[in-house]
């Protein structure tokens, strides 16, 4: 059984007396608090950098909108929602947020804990190195994060291996709440920020939808992990969309591929909406525990009423003795 790999650490990860005991300036300039920026990743909307917080002598994660979107009112609204949702969901399987603010150009940013690790996608690229129990434990921890989020009236809506970070000390973090669904206090669905200028978008890209499926022209997210109701932009979508997506992750862990694959977005969408995936055992010669396969197939049921009804239910199912099923 391989241990999840430990990534190289930079010099800022070390603790020195010269850092811990340096005096705090009499006058603190917020504009010079962060230094030594290094780009970690560039997404469709955001740039993620590491930097040093000079006041606390630690390296952190600094997230901001891409320059071409930094003044876009819709993207600013989404960015604020992501920052605040991430901050409000304080849980062992979410990333702590430190600060939300504006830089010297008045553009939004927020800072978070910098966690060394690999995404579940990178782990699955070397699937044969890991025991199934390790991977199921990752899914259980993601389900814990979802149980907590759903209990606080938030649906993630972008569960996929790329948004799960696995650290060298057993930590598992559910990342990127940029597509989170949040409801009003009376339980009604809130208005979604909408782009009207045809400009660039999307966490994971903006995907064109076949006109026969819906009158809307754009779809956000990663198509293979979307529930049918997310594809159809059902206004009554609820937390069970996340159960579908985490079921797809389980399916990929067991079968080596998502349940819906195709050469085009249209083909993948049609397979998801048809709702007739073969069990993951049909895609691998490795014996799959019956309980795990049954749980996976329930999660990816087309009708939300036929799925497991909560992330807590999923945790309890995955904690059963599936090895001997």
Query: Is 158 labeled as catalytic in the residue annotation?
Result: yes
Catalytic-labelled residue, pool 158, 238, 242, 306? 158
Q: Please name the residue ranges forming H helices in 191-287.
A: 228-231, 240-255, 265-274
Residues 87 and 110: their CA atoms lie apart, in Å, by 10
Find where tokens 């099923």 sit: 325
Closest CA to 311 of 138, 140, 86, 136: 140
CA distances (Å), origin 50, targets 38, 41, 63, 131: 5, 10, 9, 32
Residues 278 and 51: their CA atoms lie apart, in Å, by 46
What tokens were used for 313? 């239910």
CB 261 within 8 A of CB 224: yes
Q: Which residues of 61-96 are buried (b: 16+ CB within 10 A; e: fewer)?
A: bbbbbeeebbebebbbebbebbbbbbbebebebbbe
Neighbours of 215 (CB within 10 A): 7
Residues 251 and 4: their CA atoms lie apart, in Å, by 21
What are the phi and psi torsion angles at 8 (to 5°)? -65, 145
CA distances (Å), origin 72, targets 35, 39, 64, 69, 246: 26, 22, 13, 5, 32
What are the phi and psi torsion angles at 215 (to 5°)? -80, -15
Catalytic residues: 158
């Amino acid at each position: 059984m391989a241990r999840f790999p430990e990534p190289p650490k930079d010099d800022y990860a070390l603790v020195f007396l010269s850092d811990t005991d340096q005096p705090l300036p009499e006058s603190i300039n917020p504009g010079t608090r962060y230094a030594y920026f290094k780009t970690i990743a560039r997404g469709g909307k955001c740039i993620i950098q590491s930097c040093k917080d000079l006041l606390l002598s630690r390296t952190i994660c600094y997230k901001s909108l891409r320059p071409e979107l930094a003044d876009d009112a819709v993207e600013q609204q989404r960015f604020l929602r992501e920052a605040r949702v991430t901050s409000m969901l304080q849980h062992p399987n979410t990333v702590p947020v430190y600060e939300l603010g504006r830089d010297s150009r008045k553009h939004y940013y927020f800072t978070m804990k910098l966690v060394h690790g690999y995404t579940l996608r990178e782990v699955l690229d070397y699937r044969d190195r890991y025991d199934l129990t390790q991977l199921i434990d990752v899914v259980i921890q993601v389900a814990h994060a979802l149980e907590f989020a759903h209990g606080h009236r938030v649906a993630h809506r972008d569960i996929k291996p790329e948004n799960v970070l696995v650290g060298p000390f057993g930590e598992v973090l559910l990342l990127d709440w940029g597509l989170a669904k949040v409801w009003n206090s009376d339980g009604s669905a809130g208005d979604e920020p909408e782009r009207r200028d045809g400009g660039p978008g999307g966490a994971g890209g903006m995907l064109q939808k076949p006109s026969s499926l819906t009158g809307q022209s754009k779809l956000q997210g990663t198509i293979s992990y979307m529930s049918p109701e997310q594809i159809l932009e059902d206004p009554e979508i609820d937390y069970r969309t996340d159960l579908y997506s985490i079921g797809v992750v389980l399916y990929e862990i067991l079968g080596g591929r998502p349940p819906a694959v195709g050469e085009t977005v249209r083909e993948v969408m049609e397979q998801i909406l048809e709702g007739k995936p073969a069990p993951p055992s049909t895609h691998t010669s490795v014996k799959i525990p019956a309980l795990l396969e049954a749980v996976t197939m329930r999660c990816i049921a087309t009708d939300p009423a036929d799925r497991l009804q909560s992330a807590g239910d999923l945790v309890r199912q995955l904690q059963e003795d599936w090895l001997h099923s």
